[in-house]
Amino acid sequence: MRRIDIVALGLIAVTALFMGIQLVGSIGDKTRNVYPIALDNFATFDHKLSDFIAAGVVDQEGAKDVVFTRAKHLYMRAEQWQWYPDIEISAESDYILHIATRDIQHSFHLESRTTGEMIDVLIQPHKEYQILLNNLKPGVYAIGCTEYCGIEHNKMRGKLIVRE
């Protein structure tokens, strides 16, 4: 065996060991600040979503509602192929975002620029997910779906607008 082969095998072994340690360390980890709860009746969630929209200031942006609110509990529905509604909030507060879906599983993705850490939560039907949003930084952030949810999955975009 040549010297370069021994060095290459050593690098591969060290890399594999490092990745193995990371994998073992992540077993049992949960996404921080995410609380799934059983959802017995989706109509109840839809009612809370409707109340949330009615209590906020709704603006039309294209064909989609943008809700500006000072409420601490935010509501959003995932469905093929949209997040509804887009939400506008203030950076000064902490919020609890409630998300649910009734059709198929989706994945709520919010980039790390928003709160300082990436949020990526698998959203399954018949569950409500409560996501704590804190340390918000002003900006306009895309909400994406990172779980393939059908033919127009790539168009599933929402928006979180954080104002000063």
Average pLDDT, the chain: 89
CATH label, 31-163, candidates 2.40.128.20, 3.40.190.10, 2.60.40.420, 3.40.710.10: 2.60.40.420
Q: Which of 127, 104, 160, 129 lies closest to 30, judged by CA? A: 129
pLDDT at 126 over 60: yes
Closest CA to 143 of 126, 123, 159: 159
Q: Write out pLDDT tens, residues 73-103.
A: 999 999 988 999 999 999 989 999 999 999 9
Could you tell me the two tokens for 56? 């906020």
